[in-house]
Every structure is written in structure tokens, then in C-alpha cells.
């Protein structure tokens, strides 16, 4: 589903989302989201956060408490259904903090579903749902 050009557009916005998180760029993060009381954000292991104000505050808090984070995205799949696009990807996350020091990093894996809506200003995030991968299974189930 979706023209190659549209798929690239959506993937670019998805990449911009992770870059905004990596660089703790709260302004860009806010701009990437749809400004709407029904936007939805599920951070890994957490309950949902809904609406522009609470979601912006959640990112401000997370960014303030994340000295270093880097994402290596794998299995990025984009689907477009008319004006709505979904991106699923595996987030391979590298983090560091003051307690581990710059030479020691922790790694983790999460799965994200990101849903974007086409607006006159471009694609904007409607839903971000990230969840921790707890099991050792892989996705070779077909």
C-alpha cells in the first residue's frame, strides 16, 4: 500500500521523530505531533498519555532525565491507507547516564507502532506506542 514517494515521506518523518528524541529537541518533537486532544503516546511499560499538553510534558520529563540515547531502527515497515500512515519498527536503543559513565552503555529493545496523519503542513504523529520486548522469540513466524 502506498506510492514509493509517499512511503519515503512517511519514513522521513519517522526518522525525524527519533532524531528529535536523540537530540532532546523538544520544539521539533512538539511540531512533529498533531495538535489534538486525542493524540496518544504510550512510552515503554507505561500507561497511555493523551493529548498535546500531557504528551509534550511527558517528552520534556523524559528528555530531562535521559543524558544519552541513540536509536538503531530495524525492521522498519511503512503502510499508507489514504491519509493515514503507520510505521512499525524495532527500536534498538543505546542509552548512557551519569551512573554508568560515557564508557558504559546499556542496550534495550522495544517495538514501536507510529501512526501519522496527513495534514496541509505534512505528516503529523497521531499515535506513538512503544513496548518493551520481553521474550527471546524472533519474528520468523511465517
* Residues within the interface to a second copy (CB under 8 A): 1, 36, 38, 40, 42, 44-51, 53-54, 57-58, 75, 77, 79, 81-84, 86, 88, 90, 111, 113, 115, 117, 126-127, 129-135, 137-139, 141-142
Q: Measured from the CB atom, is 27 or 137 closer to a second copy?
A: 137
CB of 126 to a second copy, least distance (A): 7
Query: Based on CB atoms, which residue is closest to a second copy, 22 or 36?
Result: 36
Nearer to a second copy, 103 or 137 (CB): 137
> Quick one: 50 or 95, whose CB is closer to a second copy?
50
Q: Closest separation between CB of residue 45 and a second copy, Å?
A: 3
Instruction: Please give the angle made by the CA atoms of 96, 102 and 104, to the nearest 5 degrees.
Output: 70
Beta bridge partners of 120: none
Amino acid at each position: 500500500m502506498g506510492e514509493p514517494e509517499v512511503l519515503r515521506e512517511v519514513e522521513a518523518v519517522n526518522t525525524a521523530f527519533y532524531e528529535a528524541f536523540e537530540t532532546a529537541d523538544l520544539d521539533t518533537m512538539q511540531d512533529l505531533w498533531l495538535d489534538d486532544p486525542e493524540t496518544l503516546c504510550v512510552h515503554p511499560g507505561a500507561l497511555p498519555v493523551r493529548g498535546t499538553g500531557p504528551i509534550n510534558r511527558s517528552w520534556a520529563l523524559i528528555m530531562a532525565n535521559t543524558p544519552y540515547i541513540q536509536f538503531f531502527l530495524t525492521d522498519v515497515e511503512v503502510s499508507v491507507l489514504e491519509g493515514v500512515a503507520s510505521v512499525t519498527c524495532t527500536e534498538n536503543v543505546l542509552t548512557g547516564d551519569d551512573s554508568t559513565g560515557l564508557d558504559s552503555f546499556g542496550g534495550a529493545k522495544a517495538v514501536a507502532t507510529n501512526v501519522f496523519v496527513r495534514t496541509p503542513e505534512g505528516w503529523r504523529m497521531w499515535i506513538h506506542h512503544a513496548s518493551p520486548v520481553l521474550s527471546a522469540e524472533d519474528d520468523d513466524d511465517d
